[in-house]
């Protein structure tokens, strides 16, 4: 209701403006129109005998008294809630102007006056003050002269961003320069809306970036925001959210604090804080707006929260009280740099109501500070209209029983007004006044002989001409810091102090500087003091943990939750062969060809290379069997050499027996090439060596079996017409080996085997094996061996019934039968296995077939040679029968023993 009436008043005034402006051109005669009412404004003025006047707007009070709804006429509201901090700012402006007037290097031929109004921290009062600055209480149109008649150079103010925006929309229409000392809203940088607004405090664009970098520095990703329901809070949170989004952070909730107390809205903000898992909350509001909110936090006992403070309240003594520390202790925020102002402390102490009985602000300051009533004063004592925790409006009006004596000592006070230890915004007020003064000084030095379009003279200049110099103002402040504004009217460079709320030994709240945030045109960095200690207001007194979902550990990736912020996600394990090495990865990375994910999916490790190694149980066993078989073959050879002249060794071609033994020795040892890590030479050697070994062995056996076959034919036909010279049997061996050698050479030259990394069989392993090159060539190579084996089996099978005392025909038949059974069984077993077991199956087939041939062919002979030497005679070996048996019984041995009795060549070769 109060706001509506205020806007009605402003509308009426603007309407009168417009009417007077249009009639002024038609009627040049005297006009006696006057405003029907005046704004209720309090402040200070000193405009007489000064060249120009600088206006000032300060929140000396914190709010306006709610309007009496029974009064139908619009009235200018009164103010309440004395603000010691705003009163100090106002006094600082007066002190700075007096200091400038005393200097000879700035405006040496001119002096500055001032007119200061109380904005009461409300938009309506800021608008009223702006109208008074433009028109004056008795003026009928804008003429850039205030109510004193002195020329208005510019305005310092007006505190909060919402107030500056409201005032600048009026002042900007006439390009009246306005310099802000505490208004940080980013919208004020828009020169289309606010062409004459300047400020010496960084904008919220920079502060929001600093907040995001601070949040990133501490690893927070889930934060809430609370903002005042005005332009400062709304625009500040808007810019903050934009920076948060670009940094991949998330806002858990965003609520506003009502300017006019609303229990419903306040409880909504409180419930959002209670119900959220966010432990870090950004507060974009002024200290005056936060006062009811702080009381709500105390009332609901909300602790264990870390507050990120904007520059508007981080150094506020109104909030930094010991009773609020359990709830807001540990707050971290950004503050404009502090400075010491020479002579200000003494000036602040030089205040007393007796100096000016009409100074209502000083009288109210004295009454509020010392809790007394000034005699004969109409200024009310402790008038307050606030809303309690239940939402009901209370009017607290009391009169102190104690009268002020005037003897009260300011030195005994402990309030914000006299606290000069944290002069931050106060220093900005000083810099704002100096900015206007330096711009006026540049304008006053305009070259009169070579005037330019922006050249003017004090006091006859247009506001836009001073704005030209404002954009180019450069000066060094008393503390050595350089002040320079850019084209948007913002500071070109500077820094924030990063403060942390801590307590001192006396239990009072200290603003401890823990770092800085430096900003330049293209450089932004946050720097923490090396020895700084941060107080965390948490149960563990450690860095708070504020996330929607804990960061995904290595080995997992973020899974998006539909309809929720990106900071809320599921941690999904990486698939096999994919890893995430760092926490919080969005995607898993596929491992390289030779790598595989470890058990935790956190790192790519080399795949296990699998091959039949010598040092594992299976490989070692096969090595033992191979060596044992080679030793057995070698032992047989030794026996044959030692008993080479015995009939049994000489029977059926002794040389072929030696070749068979040598071949079996080669085959046994060739299995060792299959064991161990494959190399190019081993891949090429193993199959070729095996094939040649079997070719030598089987061709030698074939020579023997052909002799047996022919002996069987002699026995069957009762003739001696069929026999074979020993040289022919050796030619069979030579021819077979030469054919096999030729095919192997072609195989190695045209499509040789090579080492192959088999990754298809098992994804977690690299099976290191030999790629045989050409399967067709390999089939031809071993096809020769198969053909030889088949011929050996047929010939030995036909001759198996020869009556032989040591059954050589049957032994070779059983040996070849075992050979075929082993290799026929090998094929499906080989095709159904993978990796090293595939190689083991082949080695087992090689050894088994070799042992079978060795055992079947030579075991019976060695048994007779070593254990039954009496049977190793020409008669027994030759198959001689008693004389009573007149029939001719030829055996393989007897055929061999009759070499000297016939012209035919037999199997015995002496």
- The Cα 156–Cα 142 span in angstroms is 19
Distance CA 289, CA 260 (A): 9
The per-residue pLDDT for 514 is 92
pLDDT of 883: 31
Given a cut of 50, whether residue 903 has pLDDT beyond it is no
The residues facing 223 across adjacent strands are 251, 280
Q: 71 falls in which pLDDT band (50, 70, 90)?
A: low
Q: How far apart are CA 612 and CA 836, in angstroms?
A: 5
The H or E element that residue 57 is part of is strand 52-58
Q: Among 814, 901, 828, which Cα is nearest to 857's?
A: 814
Q: Quote the pLDDT of residue 893.
A: 43
pLDDT tens profile 223-234: 999 999 888 888
Whether 7 has a pLDDT exceeding 80, the answer reads: no
What region does 504 belong to: left with phi over 0, alpha with psi -120 to 50, or beta? beta
- Give the gyration radius of the chain's Cα atoms: 54
Q: 62-66, 158-162, 803-807: lowest mean pLDDT where? A: 803-807
Q: Between 774 and 180, whose confidence is greater?
A: 180
In angstroms, rounded to a whole number, what is the distance separating the alpha carbons of residues 851 and 237?
A: 88
Lowest mean pLDDT among 183-192, 403-412, 447-456, 573-582: 447-456
- Rounded Cα distance between 219 and 217, Å, is 6
pLDDT in tens, 265-310: 899 999 999 989 899 999 999 888 888 899 999 999 999 899 999 9
Contacts of 800 (CB under 8 A, 6+ apart): 809, 810, 813
The phi, psi pair for 692, rounded to 5°, reads -65, -35
Return all residues near 656 (Cβ < 8 A) that are at least 6 apart: 700, 701, 703, 704, 729, 730, 733
Tokens 């005393």 locate to: 102
Higher pLDDT pick, 381 / 76:
76
Tell me which residue of 737, 747, 756 sits closest to 775, measured CA to CA: 747
Contact between 402 and 371 under an 8 Å Cβ cutoff? The reply is yes
Q: Which range, of 660-664, 747-751, 789-793, 891-895, averages the lowest pLDDT?
A: 891-895
Integer angstrom CA distances of residue 694 from 468, 634, 675, 685: 105, 17, 19, 14
Q: State yes or no: pLDDT of 500 exceeds 90.
A: yes
Question: Residue 708 burial by CB count (10 A; 0-12/13-18/19+): exposed, middle or buried?
Answer: buried
Q: Which whole-number Å values give the CA distances from 734 to 659, 676, 706, 737, in the listed order?
A: 11, 32, 15, 5
Any bridge partners for residue 558, and if so which?
571
Cβ partners under 8 Å of residue 793, min gap 6: 813, 816, 817, 819, 820
Instruction: Determine the average pLDDT of the residues in 331-347.
Output: 92
pLDDT at res. 885: 37
- The token pair at 215 is 């949040």
In the prediction, which pLDDT does 889 show? Answer: 40
Q: Give the pLDDT band (50/70/90) at residue 18.
A: very low
What would the mean pLDDT of 332-349 be, rounded to a whole number?
A: 92
* DSSP-derived secondary structure for 102-115: H-SSSSTT--EEEE
C-alpha to C-alpha distance for 144 and 55, rounded to whole angstroms: 11
Q: Is the pLDDT of residue 545 over 90?
A: no
Q: Looking at residues 393-407, what average pLDDT do you find? A: 64
3-state secondary structure of 528: strand
The beta-strand segments (E) located in 761-839 are 765-771
User: How many Å apart are CA 902 and CA 622, to the nearest integer?
Assistant: 50
SS3 (DSSP) at 145:
strand
Q: Which of 25-34, 205-214, 737-746 has the lowest mean pLDDT?
A: 25-34
- When pLDDT is averaged across residues 147-156 and rounded to a whole number, the result is 78
How far CA 275 is from CA of 219, 255, 278, 303, 785, in Å, comes to 22, 13, 9, 13, 84
Distances (CA, A) of 907 to 649, 655, 761, 797, 856: 11, 11, 53, 19, 20
Q: Quick count: other Cβ atoms within 10 Å of Cβ 171?
A: 27
Q: What pLDDT sits at residue 897?
A: 38
- Per-residue pLDDT band at 881 (split at 50, 70, 90): very low
Comparing 235-244, 254-263, 780-789, 898-907, the range with the smallest average pLDDT is 898-907
pLDDT digits 0-9 by tens, 863-878 = 888 888 888 777 666 5
Res 116 pLDDT > 60? yes
Q: How confident is the model at residue 393 (pLDDT cuts 50, 70, 90)?
A: very low
DSSP type of residue 551: P
pLDDT at site 901? 34
pLDDT on residue 349: 92
CA 355, CA 357: separation in Å to the nearest integer? 7
**β pairing state of 754-758 and 178-180:** unpaired
**Interacting residues of 263 by C-beta distance below 8 A, sequence separation 6+:** 387, 390, 391
Task: Determine what percent of the chain is predicted with pLDDT higher than 70.
Answer: 83
The per-type count for the chain, helices as H runs and strands as E runs, is: 23, 29
Residues 887, 718: Cα–Cα separation, whole Å: 10
pLDDT value at 733 more than 90: no
Residues 637-642, mean pLDDT to the nearest whole number: 88
pLDDT of residue 800: 64
Q: Residues 752-774, buried b or exposed e (16+ Cβ, 10 A)? A: bbebbebeeeeeebbbbbbebbb
What pLDDT is stored for residue 905 in this prediction?
31
Three-state secondary structure call for residue 24 = helix
Residue 775 has pLDDT above 80, yes or no: yes
If one counts every other C-beta atom within 10 angstroms of the C-beta of residue 2, the result is 17
Residue 172 neighbours by CB distance under 10 Å: 22
- Are the C-beta atoms of residues 123 and 163 closer than 8 Å to each other? yes
Does the pLDDT value for residue 431 go beyond 90?
yes
List Cα–Cα distances, 378 to 123, 197, 357, 400, 833, in angstroms. Answer: 26, 38, 11, 14, 107
d(CA 136, CA 147): 4
The count of residues in the chain is: 910
Confidence of residue 17 (pLDDT cuts 50, 70, 90): very low
* pLDDT tens per residue across span 235-275: 889 999 999 988 888 899 999 998 888 888 899 999 999 98
For the record, the structure tokens of 31 come out as: 């006009």
- Both tokens of residue 295? 């009381």
* pLDDT tens per residue, range 378-391: 777 665 555 444 44
Q: How far is the CA of 897 from the CAs of 452, 799, 819, 863, 883, in angstroms?
A: 141, 18, 30, 21, 17
| pLDDT for 809 | 73
Mean local confidence (pLDDT), 104-115: 90
Q: What proportion of the chain, given as a percentage, has pLDDT over 90? A: 25
What is the residue-averaged pLDDT of the chain?
81
What 3-state class would DSSP assign to 689?
helix
Element (H, E) at 152: strand 151-156
Assess whether pLDDT exceeds 60 at residue 894.
no
Strand partners, 755: 770
Q: How confident is the model at residue 521 (pLDDT cuts 50, 70, 90)?
A: low
Q: Is 577 left (phi over 0), alpha (psi -120 to 50) or beta?
A: left
Please report the pLDDT score of residue 648 as a whole number.
Answer: 81
Structure-token match 């709304």, residue found: 234
Count Cβ atoms within 10 A of the Cβ of residue 101 and give its class: 0-12 exposed, 13-18 middle, 19 or more buried. Answer: middle
Mapped onto helix, strand or coil, the DSSP state of residue 252 is: strand
Give the whole-angstrom CA distance, residue 20 versus residue 32.
11
Per-residue pLDDT at 899 = 37
Residue 323 sits at φ, ψ, to 5 deg, of -70, -20
Pick the closest to residue 806 from 871, 713, 724, 897 (CA basis). Answer: 871
3-state helix, strand, coil in the chain (%, to 5): 45, 15, 40
Going by pLDDT thresholds of 50, 70 and 90, the confidence category of residue 178 is: very high
Sequence-ordered list of residues with C-beta below 8 angstroms from that of 620, at least 6 positions apart, any chain:
614
The answer to which of 68-72, 218-222, 490-494 has the lowest mean pLDDT is: 68-72
Whole-number Å distance between alpha carbons of 270 and 302: 9
Q: Which two tokens mark 597?
A: 């994910």
Higher pLDDT, 707 or 853: 853
The answer on pLDDT for 156 being more than 90 is yes
d(CA 58, CA 62): 10
Q: What is the pLDDT of residue 77?
A: 84
Place 541 in a pLDDT band, splitting at 50, 70 and 90.
confident
What CA–CA distance (Å, rounded) separates 333 from 308? 5
Taking 60 as the threshold, does the pLDDT of residue 144 lie above it? no
Answer whether residue 802 shows pLDDT above 80: no
């Amino acid at each position: 209701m109060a706001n509506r009436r205020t806007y009605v008043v402003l509308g009426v005034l603007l309407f009168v403006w417009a009417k007077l402006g249009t009639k002024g051109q038609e009627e040049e005669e005297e006009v006696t129109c006057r405003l029907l009412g005046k704004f209720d404004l309090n402040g200070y003025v000193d405009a007489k005998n000064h060249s120009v006047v600088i206006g000032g707007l300060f929140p000396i009070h914190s709010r306006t008294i709610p309007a009496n709804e029974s009064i139908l006429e619009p009235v200018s509201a009164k103010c309440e809630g004395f603000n010691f901090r705003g009163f100090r700012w106002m006094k600082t402006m007066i002190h700075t102007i007096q200091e400038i007037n005393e200097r000879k290097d700035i405006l040496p031929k001119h002096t500055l006056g001032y007119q200061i109004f109380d904005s009461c921290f409300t938009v309506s009062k800021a608008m009223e003050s702006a109208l008074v600055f433009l028109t004056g209480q008795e003026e009928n149109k804008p003429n850039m002269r205030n109510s004193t008649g002195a020329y208005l150079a510019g305005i310092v103010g007006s505190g909060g961003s919402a107030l500056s925006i409201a005032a600048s929309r009026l002042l900007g229409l006439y390009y009246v320069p306005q310099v802000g000392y505490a208004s940080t809203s980013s919208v004020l940088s828009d020169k289309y809306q606010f062409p004459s607004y300047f400020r010496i405090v960084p904008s919220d664009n920079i502060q929001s970036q600093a907040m995001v970098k601070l949040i990133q520095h501490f690893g927070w990703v889930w934060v809430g925001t609370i903002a005042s329901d005005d332009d400062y809070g709304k625009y500040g949170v808007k810019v903050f959210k934009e920076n948060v989004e670009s940094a991949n952070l998330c806002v858990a909730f965003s609520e506003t604090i009502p300017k006019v107390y609303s229990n419903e809205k306040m409880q909504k903000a409180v419930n959002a804080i209670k119900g959220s898992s966010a432990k870090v909350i950004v507060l974009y509001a002024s200290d005056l707006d936060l006062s009811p909110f702080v009381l709500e936090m105390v009332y609901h006992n909300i602790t264990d929260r870390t507050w990120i403070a904007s520059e508007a309240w981080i150094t506020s003594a109104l909030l930094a009280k010991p009773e609020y520390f359990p709830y807001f202790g540990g707050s971290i925020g950004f503050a404009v740099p502090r400075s010491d102002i020479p002579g200000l402390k003494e000036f602040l102490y030089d205040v007393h109501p007796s100096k000016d009985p009409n100074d209502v602000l000083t009288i109210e300051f004295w009454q509020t500070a010392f809790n007394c009533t000034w005699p004969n004063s109409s200024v009310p004592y402790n008038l307050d209209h606030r809303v309690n925790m239940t939402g009901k409006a209370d009017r607290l009006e009391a009169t102190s029983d104690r009268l002020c004596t005037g003897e009260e000592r300011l030195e005994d006070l402990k309030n914000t007004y006299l606290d000069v230890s944290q002069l931050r915004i106060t220093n900005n007020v000083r810099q704002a006044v100096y900015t206007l003064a330096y711009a006026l000084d540049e304008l006053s030095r305009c070259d009169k002989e070579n005037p330019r379009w922006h050249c003017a003279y004090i006091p006859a200049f247009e506001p836009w001409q001073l704005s030209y110099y404002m954009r180019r103002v450069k000066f060094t402040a008393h503390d050595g810091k350089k002040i320079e504004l850019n084209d948007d009217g913002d500071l070109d460079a500077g820094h924030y102090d990063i403060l942390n709320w801590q307590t001192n030994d006396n239990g009072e709240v200290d603003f401890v500087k823990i770092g800085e945030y430096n900003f330049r045109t293209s450089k932004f960095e946050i720097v923490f003091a090396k020895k700084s200690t941060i107080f965390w207001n948490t149960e563990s007194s450690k860095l708070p943990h504020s996330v929607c979902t804990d960061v995904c550990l290595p080995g997992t990736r973020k899974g998006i939750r539909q309809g929720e912020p990106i900071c809320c996600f599921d941690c999904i394990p990486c698939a096999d062969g994919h890893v995430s090495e760092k926490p919080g990865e969005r995607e898993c990375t596929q491992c390289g060809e030779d790598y595989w994910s470890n058990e935790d999916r956190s790192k790519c490790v080399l795949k296990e290379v699998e091959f039949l190694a010598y040092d594992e149980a299976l490989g070692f066993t096969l090595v033992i069997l191979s060596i044992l078989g080679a030793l057995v073959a070698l032992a047989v050879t030794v026996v044959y050499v030692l008993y080479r002249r015995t009939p049994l060794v000489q029977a059926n071609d002794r040389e072929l027996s030696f070749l068979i033994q040598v071949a079996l020795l080669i085959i046994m040892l060739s299995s060792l090439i299959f064991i161990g890590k494959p190399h190019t030479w081993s891949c090429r050697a193993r199959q070729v060596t095996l094939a040649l070994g079997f070719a030598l062995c089987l061709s030698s056996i074939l020579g023997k079996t052909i002799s047996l076959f022919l002996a069987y034919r002699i026995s069957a036909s009762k003739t001696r017409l069929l026999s074979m010279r020993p040289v022919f049997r050796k030619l069979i061996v030579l021819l077979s080996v030469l054919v096999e050698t030729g095919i192997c050479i072609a195989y190695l030259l045209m499509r040789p085997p090579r080492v192959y990394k088999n990754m298809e069989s098992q994804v977690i392993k690299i099976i290191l094996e030999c790629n045989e090159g050409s399967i067709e060539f390999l089939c031809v190579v071993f096809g020769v061996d198969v053909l030889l084996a088949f011929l050996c089996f047929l010939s030995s099978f036909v001759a198996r019934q020869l009556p032989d005392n040591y059954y050589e025909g049957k032994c070779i038949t059983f040996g070849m039968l075992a050979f075929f059974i082993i290799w026929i069984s090998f094929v499906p077993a080989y095709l159904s296995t993978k990796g090293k077991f595939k190689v083991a199956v082949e080695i087992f087939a090689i050894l088994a077939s070799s042992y079978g041939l060795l055992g079947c062919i030579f075991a019976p002979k060695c048994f007779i040679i070593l254990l039954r030497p009496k049977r190793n005679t020409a008669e027994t070996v030759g198959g001689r029968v008693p004389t009573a048996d007149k029939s001719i019984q030829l055996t393989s041995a007897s055929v061999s023993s009759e070499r000297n009795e016939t012209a035919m060549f037999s199997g015995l070769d002496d």
